[in-house]
């Protein structure tokens, strides 16, 4: 999703209101009754999907938008335009809210590492505190960047540091240092403007933040490598000009990463984390509007790129748009080159008022198969198999009817973690599902201690 500082966005149909009364910092707990799944009146789904639970948005986050998810142990961390929430998921059928922190600043992308939570702020603020208010990016003193919280006690998160980045932080990706003494953060931001003192064109770079784990307060930008010395994709009638990256996904075990960078998809060598190098670059002027995100398969030999046509607010899952736009593109990685194979898009057409486009998903780890679950906003979510790169196919889905009256909604991120599927229904709830299928059941035997979806572990290979 692309909302934050004032920007021109294709077909974006909503804005997010952050209520001034909710701008205080601090964690607030909640009584934890059972959280049964709603009746889902009118929803359609495949027989292999079961809706286990749904926890409604409450308190200081109720007026925001749920965004990304990170996992550590039996805990889930959910970003929200108004802050973040922490859930106990020891029993996936009954997730319990542990605490939530009010800290407005779109889009509050989250990740977790060694008891630290990292939070992206991509809207211009009066300062770096959680009590800040919106302030024009044309003001030199305005702040955007990455906030760092100590969440070793999830009942009482503690704000410990902030790092300002020139064009804000729309998303970020963790790359652990091989010494294990620190972690690098690849910061993605875009849409520079000549009137913004700190975010000048062309912004053909990313910022890299190094965080010393023993003293995170000393976190700082240590490099800003230029990925597009030639300027990248120049733009077209349907595609965005490259001026930064939207998201980066790392595969540290192979020292590679992929960047979804507006008009470009790039393959990176990250063997030197503070000095990534572009080793291949692809464009798709015919069908891609905005290279949004990416997911590797289990051994890092394939990658899928998502196209966020319409900015997340557009109704792109219909006959008029067709199967190749607002879709997910599958690439094989051969000899350090990205080789296009096919597109995947959900086969169900959505109503004209339903925002629907390819969005955030994760791998379901099954040896010998390439299967992932993926969010499609009001298109629900899809479980699909791309083992045959040229012929992907859906094997499961969940889809609610349109929101009435018509408005933005649906699943922002849907991820598989330790036997369950977790989803952020962007304006309603934190949801949990289960898939029961012989093709995906083996994944339940793989247990992770931590998962940041944009820092993929090697499941095998």
* pLDDT tens per residue across span 41-91: 899 999 999 999 999 999 999 999 999 999 999 999 999 999 999 999 999
Q: What's the pLDDT score for residue 10? A: 33
The tokens describing 455, both together, are 């820092």
How many CA atoms does the CB half-sphere of 34 hold within 13 Å? Answer: 5
How would residue 460 be classed by pLDDT, with cut points 50, 70 and 90? confident
Question: Do 245 and 227 meet the contact criterion of CB atoms below 8 Å apart?
Answer: yes
Report how far residue 257's alpha carbon sits from residue 249's, in angstroms, rounded to the nearest whole number.
5
Superfamily name with CATH number, domain 41-451: YVTN repeat-like/Quinoprotein amine dehydrogenase (2.130.10.10)
Length of the chain: 461
**DSSP state, residue 32:** -
Any residues with CB less than 8 A from the CB of 127 and at least 6 apart, and which? Answer: 143
Q: Of 317, 363, 359, 324, give the one whose Cα is nearest residue 340.
A: 324
* pLDDT value, residue 41: 86
pLDDT at residue 24 is higher than 80: no
CA distance 35 to 87: 12
**Per-residue pLDDT tens digits for 410-423:** 999 999 999 999 99
| Per-residue model confidence (pLDDT) at position 2 | 52
Q: What is the per-residue pLDDT for 27? A: 54
Alpha-carbon gap, residue 286 to 280, rounded angstroms:
19
**pLDDT tens, 148-191?**
999 999 999 999 999 999 999 999 999 999 999 999 999 999 99
Please state, in angstroms and as integers, the Cα–Cα distance from residue 181 to each residue in 114, 159, 210, 273, following that order. Answer: 10, 20, 10, 13
Whether 32 shows a pLDDT value over 60: the answer reads no
pLDDT tens-digit series, residues 240-287: 999 999 999 999 999 999 999 999 999 999 999 999 999 999 999 999
What integer pLDDT is reported at residue 38 of this predicted model?
81
Res 20 pLDDT > 70: no
Q: Is the dihedral of CA 342, 346, 348, 354 positive or negative?
A: negative
Q: Can you give the pLDDT at residue 36?
A: 82
Mean pLDDT on 291-308: 98
Cα separation, 43 vs 40, in Å, equals 5
C-alpha–C-alpha distance, residues 85 and 97, integer Å = 7
- If you average pLDDT over every residue of the chain, what do you get? 93
Residue 11: pLDDT band by 50, 70, 90 thresholds?
Answer: very low
From the number of C-beta atoms within 10 Å of its C-beta (0-12, 13-18, 19+), residue 438 rates as exposed
Instruction: Output the pLDDT for position 461.
Output: 63
Domain segments of the chain as ranges = 41-451
DSSP 3-state percent helix, strand, coil across the chain (nearest 5): 5, 45, 55
């Amino acid at each position: 999703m692309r909302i934050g500082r004032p920007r021109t966005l294709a077909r974006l149909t909503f804005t997010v209101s952050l209520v001034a009364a909710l701008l205080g910092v601090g964690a607030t707990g909640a009584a934890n009754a059972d959280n049964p799944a709603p009746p889902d009146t009118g929803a359609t789904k495949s027989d292999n999907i079961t809706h286990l639970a749904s926890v409604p948005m409450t308190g200081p986050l109720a007026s925001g938008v749920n965004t990304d998810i990170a996992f550590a142990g039996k805990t889930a961390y959910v970003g929200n335009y108004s802050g973040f929430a922490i859930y106990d998921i020891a029993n996936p059928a009954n997730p319990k809210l542990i605490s939530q922190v009010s800290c407005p600043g779109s889009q509050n992308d989250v990740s977790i590492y060694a008891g630290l939570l990292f939070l992206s702020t991509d809207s211009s603020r009066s300062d770096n505190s959680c009590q800040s208010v919106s302030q024009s990016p044309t003001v030199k003193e305005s702040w955007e960047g990455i906030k760092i919280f100590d969440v070793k006690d999830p009942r009482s998160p503690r704000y410990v540091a902030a790092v300002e980045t020139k064009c804000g932080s729309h998303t970020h990706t963790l790359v652990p240092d091989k010494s294990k003494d620190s972690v690098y953060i690849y910061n993605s931001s875009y849409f520079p403007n000549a009137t913004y003192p700190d975010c000048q064109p062309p912004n053909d770079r990313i910022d890299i933040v190094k965080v010393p784990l023993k003293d995170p307060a000393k976190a700082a930008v240590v490099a800003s490598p230029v990925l597009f010395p030639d300027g990248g994709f120049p733009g077209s009638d349907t595609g965005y000009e490259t001026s930064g990256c939207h998201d980066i996904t790392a595969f540290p075990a192979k020292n590679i990463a992929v960047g979804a960078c507006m008009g470009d998809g790039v393959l990176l060598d990250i063997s030197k984390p503070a000095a990534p190098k572009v080793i291949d670059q692809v464009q798709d002027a015919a069908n891609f509007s905005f290279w949004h995100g990416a997911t590797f398969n289990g051994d890092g030999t394939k990658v899928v790129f998502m196209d966020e046509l319409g900015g997340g607010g557009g109704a792109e899952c219909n006959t008029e748009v067709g199967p190749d736009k607002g879709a997910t593109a599958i690439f094989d990685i051969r000899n350090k080159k990205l080789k296009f194979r096919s597109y995947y898009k959900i086969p169900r057409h959505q109503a004209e008022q339903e925002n629907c486009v390819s969005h955030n998903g994760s791998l379901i780890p099954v040896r010998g198969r390439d299967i992932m679950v993926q969010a499609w906003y009001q298109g629900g979510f899809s479980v699909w198999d791309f083992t045959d790169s040229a012929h992907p196919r859906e094997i499961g889905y969940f889809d609610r009817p349109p929101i009435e009256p018509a408005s933005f909604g649906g699943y922002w991120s849907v991820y598989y973690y330790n036997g369950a599927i977790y989803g952020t229904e962007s304006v309603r709830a934190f949801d949990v599902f289960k898939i029961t299928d012989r093709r995906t059941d083996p994944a339940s035997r793989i247990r992770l201690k931590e998962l940041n979806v944009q820092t993929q572990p090697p499941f095998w290979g």
